[in-house]
Amino acid sequence: MRATRSVAQPGLRTRLKAIAVTAVLSLAFTSQAAAAVPTPPTISAASTAVQTLTGGKAGLAAGRIAMHTTPNDQGDNAILNMFQWTWNSIAAECTNVIGPAGFAYVQVSPPQEHIIGVLGAQGAPWWTSYQPVSYKVESKLGTRAEFATMVQTCRDAGVGIIADAVINHMTGQTEPGIGWAGTEYSEENYPGPEGGYGPQDFNECKTEISNYGDRHDVQNCRLVGLQDLATGSDYVQQEIADYLDDLASLGVAGYRIDAAKHMPATDLEAIKSKTTAAKNLYWVHEVIGSGGEPIQPVEYLGSGDSHEFNYGRTLQRAFNGRISTLQRLATNQDLLEGYRAGVFVDNHDTERNRETLSYHAGNKYLLANVFLFSYPYGSPSAYTGYEFEHANGGHDIGAPQDTVGKVLDAECSDGAFTCIHREPEIANMVGFYNDVRATGLNNWQTLDGGNVVGYGRGEQGFVVLNNTNASVNHTFTTSLPQGSYCNVIAARDLTDCDETFTVGADGSVDITAAAGKSVVLWTKHSTRTGDPVYANTTTTVYFHKYSGWAEAYLHHNASGGWTQAPGDQMSEVCEGWYAVTVPTTGPFVGVLTNGAGDWNNPMGGGNYNISGEHVTLSHGVAVDANPCGSTDSQNIVVYYRVNPAWTTHNIHYGHGIKGWTAVPGERMSPACEGWVRKTIATDGDELEFVFNNGGDTWDNPDGGGNYSTYGPVVAVDNKVMTEGNPCAGQEELPEEEEEPVIPEAPEYDTVRVFLAARDGWATHNLHYGAGSEWTAVPGTPMDVACEGWYGLEIDARTGLNGVFNNGAASNDGLEWLNTAGGGNFTFDAPVVAVATDLSVSQQDPCIDDDTPGSGGNDGSDGGGSGTGNGTDGNTNSGTGTGSSGSDTGGNSGTGNNSAGGGEGPDVTDNGAGVADDDVTDSSQSDQNNAQTDETDRGVAGDALTTDEDQDEAGELSKTGTTLTVFVLTLSAVLLAAGIAAIVAARRMHTTSQ
């Protein structure tokens, strides 16, 4: 969700986490490695149906209790997210397009009353929908009656309605106003009666969230100024429950819980328990998980499914890199279990902050949607909205509106709404998804360096994706029956096929895929002339054993009859993965068990459909993949030519969902004469990396940016990367295990940071942190300390550093001040002062050397030896009489030598700054190699963290285009000036929501 704190300020500071930019493109974006999602719990016997044996075949019913209902008899779960479409437009589209296509749900924008917003030349911003005034079902998208009609019309078309429920907060307005339905309100006063709240119904924290590493801060403070409801209160819970039940009375089929991360999972469970009808409907939570943060999507599975944002980020990396890495997507143990994961290519937030692909990406976006509906992981949600531009705040513009701000009905003919859901890559793929969803993934084939792939869905479908700029012809192996097949995405209308392909008796098919296009063959649209052919004589089945399982068994019917329970025992073949090889003459089915009564079944229950040489059963699906080795490198070995001036050689790297190592990275070990080495497990992901000396000296490729490779073995010498082992023919030393270094904590409690006033800066902010915990951009405002100086007291921490900025409300105006070398300032003393020329001292600039020292808070009067808490900071020998009581410093000196107010020790008062997570989630560069906001493959060494939550934040997020232009422009200026700066650990933070 997103909203802005004040209608009067549509340009509020972005939650895209402005980067603390120096303009030199010379270091990788850095971040702490992502924390793994906890291993799925053991499937208890209580949630597993009793096995039945019928006619020699074992049929195992659903292995998990269904967490939601579906609006049609088939149990299909494809969703279309129709952002800012009116109720009348959705009703018409359900009848004419959505229902016939086979979608099970439509997700609609929030239906409750909201703020009106400032009506600019193009109407009010879209995010007004995410600032509730009451729970009346009356909004710029339509009336209550129109909403009810839409629900019924879509139900008649076989489509359920999912309502976007904004229940974490109310508005971000501090001035009184009138809502869309006429409800008067003021700050923390909302009379309702639907959603009637007073000050006692909001959390005590009235400040913005500033530390996404602090659970309490995230779930009790204000998300970009939005007034945070006390969802732990019985009264608030019941108000929300009544609202959800009201929507249920209108016929909705489920809810998308906006900003769920900002409410404790137990609060949502309590709210659900207080409903009557709503508790029986589908719930999916917007929980934007970021590595290293304490709050993760898996926590919210007690009240419904959760969105898996890492899915969309992974697709962006792949389609901007190498799509062959997607083969093992469903085997990634850092993702949610597929049967609990809502997945998408993009949504209304991520298309604006560039955390994922969007319609702006053209063919790549359509290819990604074909993958979404053809790869067996998660419950897919396509997205359709309206056109916008990233430049000049265009991403905040609302959908087409009339003069009073009411959104106009969508017209696909005028180009304002994208209507991209009507394209065959989406509309025709929904039926394909519904038909093949019980099958596994088989016959994966990779061509053209990893950007052309083909894969099958059992004996029912085959897909080819060409993510290159040239046409590709290849003869693919399939499990399809012999016959003539229509390419179901060659045209919107399938009544008269525009393109056909012939599958031979051996299952082979010669396919030509145009540049940037796909081919999808589906048995439903074919003329069958023969039976499928099966070539394998054995199948090896893999499973990532649950931590609670002592053993793992495959119970199957590969030999025609079922094995005796519990089946064939599996043995560990690589870390965490168990396997068993069984003889077979064709496709077969099976289930997994621990031999002690717990079972693992596929999504939707039943048995896994298994075929092929290597099959991995993971996240409720069967995937043609070997998790212990594949055509893509599981490990990448990087060699680096020894730099004689360095005593330590580190590699700072990132890949996939794991994100980036903490600065300065990991130590490389000697390999052979003149070379050091590091082996990195990447699971086939692209590896991006830079080198440093364990300090502030970095080695990036010429032109800045990061080195990148898919491996398997590369060497870097004098900024040139080549493939191969430079130690070949020599005896190599064994790779050393890196000993963890535990830094010593500082002996002082606080740090007072001073900055000389900057010309043109009305505000001076400090953006600071240590490790993965940083303040949210733009950081914390500094106060005037004395003439010409600003100061801020912060808590002392190991590895504390930061940068300064002008606190501008948007990325466009945000100016950053880094060290002369382009890095972060280090705060490793009780006092750190940064002068106009960027020189750094440990002297308090606001205390003159000849000024008498002042006595401590509890010090004695006069010239005696005061023992109070003096905070002069410097060792000024006082000549006068120290005054008792308040002193001018801070709060923790101990005037040991106060002769006449004398010399107290250094000031160590250090304010309580809050930190935001420094996680580099999404790492993609766009097609023009311009760096996007959420890339962890950064150019300037900063850790662009996509606390994608920024998205939900409801703030006006500036996009990667602005950031990219800003970085590149500044880079050119500094480089022209001959500055070869290297940014060691700057951070870019996106508010997690």
Q: Which phi and psi (to 5°) does residue 588 adopt?
A: -145, 175
CA angle 8–776–13, rounded 5-degree value: 20
Q: Which residues contact 78 (CB under 8 A, 6 or more apart)?
A: 102, 103, 104, 105, 373, 379, 380, 381, 382, 430, 433, 434
Residue type, position 469, single letter: N
**Are 255 and 243 in contact, with CB atoms under 8 Å apart?**
no
Beta-bridge partner residues of 690: 652
**Gap between the Cα atoms of 222 and 952, Å rounded:** 13
Whose CA is closest to 910, among 744, 749, 773, 746?
749
Residues in the chain: 993
How many C-beta neighbours within 10 Å does residue 149 have? 16
C-alpha closest to that of 532 among 502, 505, 501: 505
> Minimal CA–CA distance to 408: which of 84, 7, 82, 3?
84
Active-site annotation holds for 208: no
Hunting for tokens 């900003």 — which residue is that? 259
Closest CA relative to residue 213, chosen from 288, 287, 291: 291
Give the start-end residues of each E strand in 55-182: 57-59, 79-82, 105-108, 160-165, 177-178
CA-based radius of gyration for the chain: 30
Separation of alpha carbons 124 and 399, rounded Å: 9
Beta pairing, strands 621-623 & 614-618 = antiparallel
| Rounded Cα distance, 400 and 387, in Å | 10
Nearest Cα neighbor of 921 from 945, 887, 889 is 945
Torsion of CA 504, 510, 514, 517, to 10 degrees: 50
> Which region holds residue 312: left if phi is over 0, alpha if psi is between -120 and 50, else beta?
alpha
Amino acid at 762: A
The packing angle between helices 265-274 and 234-249, to 10°, is 60
What DSSP string runs through 797-811? -TT-EEEEE---SST
Largest separation between any pair of C-alpha atoms in the chain: 107
Count CA atoms closer than 13 A to 850's CA, side-chain side: 0
Instruction: Kindly name the residue from 258, 459, 951, 955 that is annotated as catalytic.
Output: 258
Q: Is 823 helix (H, G, I), strand (E, B) or coil?
A: coil
Exposed, middle or buried by CB within 10 Å (0-12, 13-18, 19+), for 857? middle
DSSP-derived secondary structure for 901-966: S-B------------EE-------B-TTSPBPTT-SS-SBS-EE---THHHHTTS----HHHHHHH
Structure tokens at 365: 């976006």
Catalytic residue among 286, 435, 685, 844: 286
Which pair of structure tokens corresponds to residue 64?
């998990």
* Tokens matching residue 915: 């930190």
- Can you tell me whether residue 656 is helix, strand or coil? helix
CB 227 within 8 Å of CB 188: yes
- Rounded CA-CA distance 216/970 in Å is 38
Is 747 annotated in the active site? no
755, HSE (Cβ side, Cα atoms, 13 Å): 26
Cβ burial of 404 (10 Å; 0-12, 13-18, 19+) is exposed
Collapse the DSSP code of 360 into the 3-class scheme (helix H, G, I; strand E, B; otherwise coil) and give the result. helix
Query: Is there a cis peptide before residue 10, judged by omega within 30 degrees of 0?
Result: no
Structure tokens, 212: 């996404």
Would you name the residues annotated as active-site residues? 258, 286
